[in-house]
Amino acid sequence: MDRSKNGPRKRNGNTMGRAVTGVAVVGFGWMGRAHTQAYARLGHHFPELGVRPELVAVADEVPGRAEEAAERYGFATAVRDWREVAADPRVHVVSITAPNFLHREIGVAMARAGKHIWIEKPVGLTTDDAQAVADAVAEAGLQSAVGFNYRHAPAVSAAREMIAAGELGTVTHVRIRLFSDYAAHPESALTWRYERERGGSGVLGDLASHGVDLARHLVGEIESLTADTAIFLTQRARPTGATSGHARAGGGEMGPVENEDYVSCLLRFSPTGGALTGARGVLEASRVSVGEQNNYGFEIHGTKGAVFWDFRRMNELGVSTGGAYQDQSVSTVYVGPGHGLYAAFQPGSAVAMGYDDLKVIEAYHFLRSVAEGTPHGATLADAVHSAAALDAMARSAETGSWVSPDTGR
């Protein structure tokens, strides 16, 4: 496939000589807006980036939604059918922020059309879906990015560096939590998120996918796991119109919730030497935790120390290191320049960053990958690993046994 017509193009007089790359967004709910805003901010935070995004097209099947996005954000074209985006020669990169059941079809089609892909997790409904998109991108020689944004928090980057440097000693055990109340209201609408055919898994895909990525990013590959899942709100009302985000639909016709509200999982990590010698872990996630709003984080313990991170205090890292072992104190490190990509946003320590900044970092890694032809950040390979772990959790919950993410045994 000749993709020379579908690559970034130079434009006379372009700022700092950067190539212009045509951007499209497919699916314009909350995450579509987050991607669009991230593209718009790239030049402010990463002026050295070799490409400059240009908002070419937005697609959404809900009548009027794409047109509203074009008016608000400046897309040149608004369409309802994503296939028009695949056929548009002005589009070089595509953000896929449509519902999960559409990921495979759209992702494979975009790759075959020569478009680089930034796609939201969990990338389809199954490992096979994620692998199909990954294979299509690889066969076309394209770049990819996946929405595992929490790994890009500067405090998480600092924790990863400490673990790799052996500052915690040998990692022994990790706890990862992702508790939210976005589905806790009994009047939450029965959208595609709660259906097996369109949403696939429930909290596994929504939240535990992030937990798996953090586990792999910080501690290493998962060798085996055993999991338990539950549905606590078994009935929800069907919406009567288009929805976005986590809408309510009180009074509508009731229907069954088909995927899990909650998961708890025990993990065994592969022994790889160095600071990692077969650590143990606990991953717990819930979408119906009343009183919890985005309570995401981790605790990682080693033979010499520990690190603690809470997304709600995203710019702080609890650190316990030294040689005391017993009664060793915990210090709070406020991230600053020198931690991850913090310096692209703030000039001094303890000036808070936010969620949207993490999406800007994702966009930077994505377009840097496109410009250099080398992967940066989370890619579709990471999505395949995450999906394999999620499928293993589902199998384990059915059988009550320990399962390998790789083989299903």
5 band by pLDDT with thresholds 50, 70 and 90: very low
- The residues, any chain, with a CB within 8 Å of residue 128's CB and separated by 6 or more, are none
Q: What mean pLDDT comes out for the span 187-207?
A: 91
What residue spans in the chain does CATH classification 3.30.360.10 cover? 151-353+378-399
Residue with tokens 């549905």: 231
Q: What mean pLDDT comes out for the span 219-241?
A: 92
- Which range, of 7-16, 38-47, 374-383, averages the lowest pLDDT? 7-16
pLDDT at 251: 66
pLDDT in tens, 149-171: 999 999 999 999 999 999 999 99
Cβ(171)–Cβ(276) under 8 Å? Answer: yes
pLDDT in tens, 269-323: 998 766 666 899 999 999 999 999 999 999 999 999 999 999 999 999 999 999 8
Q: What mean pLDDT comes out for the span 33-57?
A: 96
What residue spans in the chain does CATH classification 3.40.50.720 cover? 4-142
292-302 in b/e burial notation, b at 16+ Cβ within 10 A? Answer: beebbbbbbbb
pLDDT at 170: 94
pLDDT at 341: 98
Domain 151-353+378-399 architecture: 2-Layer Sandwich (3.30)
What residues does 93 pair with on adjacent strands?
A: 23, 116
Report phi then psi at 345, rounded to 5.
-115, -40
Residue 148 pLDDT exceeds 70? yes
What are 9's two structure tokens? 């193009």
Residue 203 pLDDT exceeds 70? yes
Task: Calculate the CA 271 to chain-centre distance.
Answer: 26
Residue 42 pLDDT exceeds 60? yes
Cα separation of 387 and 364, whole Å?
24
183-206 in b/e burial notation, b at 16+ Cβ within 10 A? Answer: bbeeebbbbebbbeeebbbbbbbb
pLDDT at 272: 76
Residue 409 pLDDT exceeds 80? no
Residue 337, judged by CB atoms within 10 A of its CB (0-12, 13-18, 19+), counts as middle
Q: What mean pLDDT comes out for the span 121-126?
A: 96
What are 182's two structure tokens? 């976005």
pTM of the model: 0.92
Cβ(81)–Cβ(109) under 8 Å? Answer: no
Share of the chain above pLDDT 90, in %: 84
The Cα-based distances of 177 to 16, 26, 103, 282, 297 in angstroms read 43, 30, 26, 8, 6
Q: How many CA atoms lie within 13 A of 149 on its CB side?
A: 24
Cα separation of 270 and 210, whole Å?
19
pLDDT at 7: 56
Instruction: Find out if CATH 3.40.50.720 is the number for domain 4-142.
Output: yes
What residues does 188 pair with on adjacent strands?
A: 248
pLDDT at 247: 72
Residue 23 pLDDT exceeds 80? yes
Cβ(120)–Cβ(29) under 8 Å? Answer: no
Residue 11 pLDDT exceeds 70? no
Other beta carbons within 10 angstroms of residue 291's beta carbon come to: 8
pLDDT in tens, 322-366: 989 999 999 999 999 999 999 999 999 999 999 999 999 999 999
